[in-house]
């Protein structure tokens, strides 16, 4: 029984080692710029679309559209230069 468990453990160890060596090959880099552009655009759209037209405060939550705060407004203000630099809005 002990010898059987030793063989099973050795086999599993060899499989894991071979798998890790094979998995370390060169791969194409992930498309991070595309993902970051999409996240940036969606984030900007949230702050642009959910700003109160009279007060300029940004909504805290998408679902509850009655709560706004200075913190969310600060993030919205930080999103404006990003939108200008990316060409989504004009100065």
| Tens of pLDDT, residues 10-41 | 778 777 777 776 666 666 666 778 888 899 99
> What confidence score (pLDDT) does residue 89 get?
92
> What confidence score (pLDDT) does residue 43 get?
92
Q: Where along the chain do its domains lie?
A: 28-86
CB proximity list for 10: less than 8 A, separation 6 or greater = none
How far apart are the C-alpha atoms of 35 and 56, rounded to whole Å? 29
Percent of the chain with pLDDT over 90: 31
Report whether pLDDT(67) > 90: no
Collapsing DSSP to helix, strand or coil, 65 comes out as coil
pTM: 0.59
> What confidence score (pLDDT) does residue 18 get?
76
How far apart are the C-alpha atoms of 48 and 43, rounded to whole Å? 9
> What confidence score (pLDDT) does residue 63 get?
72
């Amino acid at each position: 029984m002990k010898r059987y468990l030793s063989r099973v453990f050795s086999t599993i160890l060899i499989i894991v080692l071979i798998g890790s060596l094979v998995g370390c090959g060169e791969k194409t880099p992930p498309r991070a710029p595309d993902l970051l552009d999409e996240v940036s655009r969606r984030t900007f759209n949230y702050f642009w679309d959910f700003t109160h037209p009279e007060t300029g405060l940004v909504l805290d939550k998408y679902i509850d559209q009655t709560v706004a705060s200075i913190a969310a407004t600060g993030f919205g203000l930080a999103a404006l230069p990003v939108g200008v630099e990316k060409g989504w809005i004009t100065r």
